[in-house]
Amino acid sequence: MNITIAQLDAVVGDIDGNAARAVKVFSEAAGNSDLVVFPELYLTAYPPRDLLEKHSLINRVQQAVEELREVSVRHPETGLLIGAPVPTGLATGKGLYNAALLIYQGQINWQAKSLLPTYDVFDESRYFDPPALVRVFPFKDEVLGVSICEDAWYEYDANARRLYLFNPIQELAQQGATIFINISASPFHCGKEEIRRRLIQGHCQAYQVPFILVNQVGGNDELIFDGRSMVLDAQGTPVAVLPAFEEAVVTVDTSLSGQAEIYQPAAEIASVHDALILGLKDYLRKCGFSKAVVGLSGGIDSAVTCYLARQALGPENVLGVIMPSLYSSPGSIADSERLADNLGVKTCTVPITPIYQAYLSSLPACFPVGDLDVALENIQARIRGNILMAFSNRLGYMVLSTGNKSELAVGYCTLYGDMSGGLAVISDVPKTMIYDLARYINRQRELIPQEILTKPPSAELRPNQRDQDTLPPYEILDQILEYYINEGWGYQEIVDRGFDPETVRWVIKAVDRNEYKRRQAAPGLKVTSKAFGSGRRMPIAARYET
């Protein structure tokens, strides 16, 4: 059977636009393909979140499904499998299924998603009901075992706690499926691609049935979808693997035997690089922006952020603003200018010393200025944030904040200052990974000046300031944060790994007491297994000793 995989970048809520693309791709493939397959919830795009509670949206989805049904009548030789929310018609429950619709010759069959995840960034039980049963679809000379994303993840880790009592893939195999098809919206994080491949391979080998995975691609809010759809034969060997982080429409003959060399997993840092560019590009495009402004400090975080913006938007659509103060080193200004020259982006220099001095002269009546302390350091950061927002308001550019995950975790950032912005591009990238990313960026030629990579990190808000005056060395900090945030370990477990007890205690307290800051941060692109944002829901006003 020839099956066309439509790995497309859909826009959340754009039912008309998504349906129009589906009609176009289906019509072009019809005649040369037996079946065209689109990702999970393709008509609404994933995740639609509380848009699903709008009756008008569900009505528009039903209209789009009817349009697709009519198109299928005009192309009776080809079927269409697409994801959409479908009303259950029941008086109890949430009232919606997350469904896969098989549309063929004007007839519609559907299968709803059985396993509704509620962990990390997922909250599907808020919107959907599970179906009463799972069934296969006889189609031409095959029996299709159709599942949706999480339905295939029952057995992904034999050592993990079982989240579900039911295995949909096993049920489909027992009903005689000759081809498994899983439509997905599986978000990216480091290492996810290989986990996904091993999972699918396990299903093939367990049931001796070929497996087709069709995954969404693109960025929607903080989530990035890598695509990387694939077809494996009954032994779990790749027949076709689609590219990561880009759209692709590929027709595959499912009777072919696979070849192991077809699948080459991408290096982790290369995947993070490509994911951030796609996530940034889609976030601005889908929010109606085409240009970005970045504050250039001469540090590595702003340098990497500026590079990513240039790759996503083009150098002509990025403005770097250099805002030197009393405490900015000449090298930082020169490094920012060299970076901008290397990237081909425009810059504008706005010294903040006169503004800072005006603050100091205005405050003493009610605010004893005294020595340079955190309050005065933060005033400088907030002046810079205001300047960037002025550029945004006047020119229509989106401000990209430049803080990394290590800083955001322990609150080494200023509310309404360097945290200002519409998107926190690298907020899920630890500081040590930022350096790896910078070296990857420079793999062919020096785009980020070497001086930026080698000088000690500094906020430059007071004389001779260094990050390590306040923070543990980043190599140690990032390991503790990995254990505490990503792995969920407590104080004693981390100390038992050989870390200094006082350092661990300081890091944990810093993470916990800065929850209020992170709640006010710009959305950040998720690239690790546990990002700040919708996938980590901690209370702000809490008193809990880890």
Mind telling me the catalytic residues? 40, 113, 149
The DSSP annotation for 230-289 comes to EEE-TTS-EEEEPPBSS-EEEEEETTSPP-GGG--PPPHHHHHHHHHHHHHHHHHHHTT-
**Residue type present at position 40:** E
Smallest Cα–Cα separation from 235: which of 210, 255, 260, 214? 210
The DSSP annotation for 114-137 comes to S----STT--GGGT----S----E
CA dist 418 and 420 (Å) reads 5
Contacts of 483 (CB under 8 A, 6+ apart): 489, 493, 494, 497
With DSSP H G I counted as helix, E B as strand and the rest as coil, what are the percentages for the chain, rounded to 5? 40, 20, 40
The DSSP annotation for 456-505 comes to PP---SSTT--GGGTS--HHHHHHHHIIIIIS---HHHHHTTT--HHHHH
The burial of 8, by beta-carbon neighbours within 10 Å (0-12 exposed, 13-18 middle, 19 or more buried), is given as buried
